[in-house]
Amino acid sequence: MADMRVNLCGVELKNPVIAASGTFGYGMEYNEFYPVSRLGGISCKGTTLQERMGNPSPRIADTPAGILNSVGLQNPGVDAFLSTYLPWLRQQDTVVIANLAGHSVEEYCQMAERLDASDVDIVELNISCPNVKEGGVNFGTSCDMVSTVTSEVKKRCRKPLMVKLTPNVTSIGDIAAAAEAAGADCISLINTLTGMRIDIRTRRPILRNNTGGLSGPAVFPVAVRMVREVFKRVKVPVIGMGGISTWEDAAEMMIAGASAIQVGAANFRDPFAMVKIIEGLENFANEQKLSSITELTGTLMEWA
């Protein structure tokens, strides 16, 4: 039987399948379908310094082979996460990843300090947020801003630091390299692609926020390409996500270079999606006579 365990910067996961932030809440609802202890880890809903109500409705729109969302980081704030949700998560026998979102370096740092003293296993830095002090440009679109926020958070947090990259950039490899140089212990990608849908009768955007983040199977080929680019540029582990719906997708992402994968939108369509992916990966690893699932990572043989 293949060993399904993977190690992410010193943290051992029982398998490489992680629930992606923003699509799984804190795992409580899904725990009614199956024990979330079956997962390698849970990346919790994006957490901000203060409670956020999110964007006005409508904030979800269907798209061909995907979903467009502009939820706006609705969450109870870091204090509620630490006092209410983390104690429950710590009883579930799975790796807990706290996802941080902020609109200034100071906000990120304040949350990092609080999480450093907590029982979370890994901190995931969501840098797809607008920097309000720099004209609203997203942190993740500039190597300089990526470097600044990563290095400042790293100074205040001894937990393994995972930096989650936006795909809405010119060179994902340069952004990943900047994060690694600034102290990132691992890189996760991709976050959603920016998109829009329009109601042709009202001639207004369907989303109240006008644009939103595209996820689901439609983005999978883009994610695979970007994971491969980042794998070739950095030495730290890469966590791949974006449109993974089946175990075959997960295997493909690992072959491209991912040490572990995150599953998001697929959970909305099928609450058992991740369980099926774990079982499928294990069967595939045994079929391929692998001693460890880690033997898949980075084994792509590109054409000359």
Q: Which of 36, 14, 15, 16 is nearest to 25 (CA)?
A: 36
Q: Residue 88 and residue 82: Cα distance in Å, rounded? A: 10
Alpha helices in the chain (DSSP H): 78-80, 86-89, 105-116, 143-156, 172-181, 220-233, 247-256, 266-269, 273-287
Q: Is 44 known to be catalytic?
A: no
Q: Residue 85 and residue 79: Cα distance in Å, rounded? A: 10
The structure tokens 């990966």 sit at 281
- The catalytic residue among 129, 143, 157, 186 is 129
Q: Residue 218 and residue 241: Cα distance in Å, rounded? A: 12
What phi, psi does 189 have (nearest 5°)? -170, 150
Q: Are 262 and 18 in contact (CB under 8 A)?
A: yes
Q: Are 146 and 164 in contact (CB under 8 A)?
A: no
Which two structure tokens, joined as six digits, stand for 125? 């830095």
DSSP letter, residue 46: P
Q: Residue 28 and residue 246: Cα distance in Å, rounded? A: 23
Alpha helices in 60-207 (DSSP H): 78-80, 86-89, 105-116, 143-156, 172-181
The catalytic site residues sit at 129
